[in-house]
Amino acid sequence: MNHVNPTSSGDAAAKTPAPSPALLFDTINAYQRTAAIKAAIELDVFTALADSPANADAIARQANASGRGIRILCDFLTVLGFLTKSGDRYALTPDSALFLSRKSPAYAGGTLEFLLSDHLRGAFHPLTDAVRSGRTAQPQDGSVTPEHPMWISFARSMGPLMHPAAAALAGLFALNPNRPASVLDIAAGHGEWGLAFARKFPAAKVVALDWSPVLEVARANARAAGVADRFSTIAGSAFDVDLGHDYDVVLVPNFLHHFNTADCVRFLKRAQAALRPGGMVAIIEFVTNEDRVTPPAAAGFSLIMLATTPEGDAYTLAEYSNMLAQSGFSAPRQHSLPASMNVALVATKS
């Protein structure tokens, strides 16, 4: 019997890493990560750990689940980085405490309703077909089909997570307090981007544009924020309806990535025309570097646009700058936003 370890011998080992299928299997099996975080959120594992670390049996009692199931799930969540483990006790990381405990005001577990909806997740089943054809393999125009119901679940589930970024965005602006400023929020969804302006500027009026059933969600959020008297809506397509005029700010949150550059310019010209002289547009987006493969979250977003839209993309700063220049805007300034993979590009009407 030869006990030489076959992976530690050989001349090549010193020069190059040993071949490994680890990344391949990790990627083929990546759907298991999705299943694990979904199960953990559904069973409220993170809330069970909100007050103190606990072992699997204690978590299982709170989650009404089995000790074996919780132990294996929590070990997997530890491997992924959602929990830490010391002895047999699991504890929340700071991010898990903030985003995954129901006791946190920033609880983001509700995002599953949209992010794992059949509309979104289902668009990846025929991904091979989408790569072949170069556009969504979903019916009609996928997520940009007029009145698509997925935007109702988007509006219902994605709002709370936007609070810190929306507040920070509003904090970048200093609207004139001597007259009632007006803000147009395009494809408003939950409405939180515009509502952050209504909260910060007590005289500001906010107009939210979206499909009619989606606006019901935004209106409910405006009532909850106590600003319903300064909140109004426009139902319909941002490419077709009358946008109004003399706005101080037009917000364009995660809207342009659904379209090709020509349509983005077509929309931005409409936004420009709706602004008062010196008014500003704020584009909130996934913006990739010129290489289109960094930063990872923004670059990876492009695949969602392939799966769900005819021609959308994650654009670069140069591409957005070019669209803005063609539409009568200054060069944009880029601002990062807290707790968000989005950045804000702010430009002034020329």
Taking CB under 8 A as the criterion, which residues in 233-262 touch a copy of itself?
none
Taking CB under 8 A as the criterion, which residues in 143-162 touch a copy of itself?
161
What count of residues does the chain have?
350
Is beta strand 89-92 parallel, antiparallel or unpaired with respect to 54-55?
antiparallel
Taking CB under 8 A as the criterion, which residues in 26-45 touch a copy of itself?
26-39, 42-43
Nearer to a copy of itself, 94 or 139 (CB): 94
What token pair was written down for 258?
A: 């659904």
Shortest CB 297 distance to a copy of itself, Å: 6
Choosing from 12, 51, 61, 79, the residue that interacts with a copy of itself (CB under 8 A) is 79
Nearer to a copy of itself, 120 or 243 (CB): 120
178 binds a copy of itself (CB under 8 A): no
Shortest CB 283 distance to a copy of itself, Å: 15
Angle at 27 between CA 25 and CA 32, to 5 degrees: 90
Taking CB under 8 A as the criterion, which residues in 281-310 touch a copy of itself?
291-294, 296-297, 299-300, 302-307
125 binds a copy of itself (CB under 8 A): yes
Choosing from 55, 91, 110, 112, the residue that interacts with a copy of itself (CB under 8 A) is 112
DSSP 3-state assignment of 190?
A: coil
Burial category of 286 from C-beta neighbours within 10 Å (exposed 0-12, middle 13-18, buried 19 and up) = buried
SS3 content of the chain, % helix, strand, coil (to 5): 45, 15, 35
Nearer to a copy of itself, 29 or 178 (CB): 29
Taking the C-alpha atoms of residue 82 and residue 338, their distance in angstroms, rounded to an integer, is 20
Contacts of 152 (CB under 8 A, 6+ apart): 213, 214, 217
Number of residues that bind a copy of itself (CB under 8 A): 108
Taking the C-alpha atoms of residue 204 and residue 223, their distance in angstroms, rounded to an integer, is 15
336 binds a copy of itself (CB under 8 A): yes
What token pair was written down for 121?
A: 């997740």
Distances 327 to 206, 245, 288, 349 between C-alpha atoms, Å: 23, 16, 21, 9
Choosing from 172, 273, 318, 331, the residue that interacts with a copy of itself (CB under 8 A) is 172
67 binds a copy of itself (CB under 8 A): yes
Nearer to a copy of itself, 85 or 219 (CB): 85
Residues 208-237, one symbol each (x = binds a copy of itself by CB under 8 A, - = not), give ------------------------------
**What region does 54 belong to: left with phi over 0, alpha with psi -120 to 50, or beta?**
beta
135 binds a copy of itself (CB under 8 A): yes
Choosing from 91, 116, 203, 317, the residue that interacts with a copy of itself (CB under 8 A) is 116
Among the listed ranges 130-138, 146-154, 179-187, 200-208, the one in contact with a copy of itself (CB under 8 A) is: 130-138
DSSP 3-state assignment of 90?
A: strand
Nearer to a copy of itself, 33 or 266 (CB): 33
Shortest CB 285 distance to a copy of itself, Å: 15
Among the listed ranges 116-124, 182-190, 226-234, 323-331, the one in contact with a copy of itself (CB under 8 A) is: 116-124
174 binds a copy of itself (CB under 8 A): yes
Answer whether 218's CB lies under 8 Å from 191's CB.
yes
Could you please report the per-residue DSSP string of 244-298?
Answer: -S-EEEEEEET-GGGS-HHHHHHHHHHHHHHEEEEEEEEEEE--B-TTSS-SHHH
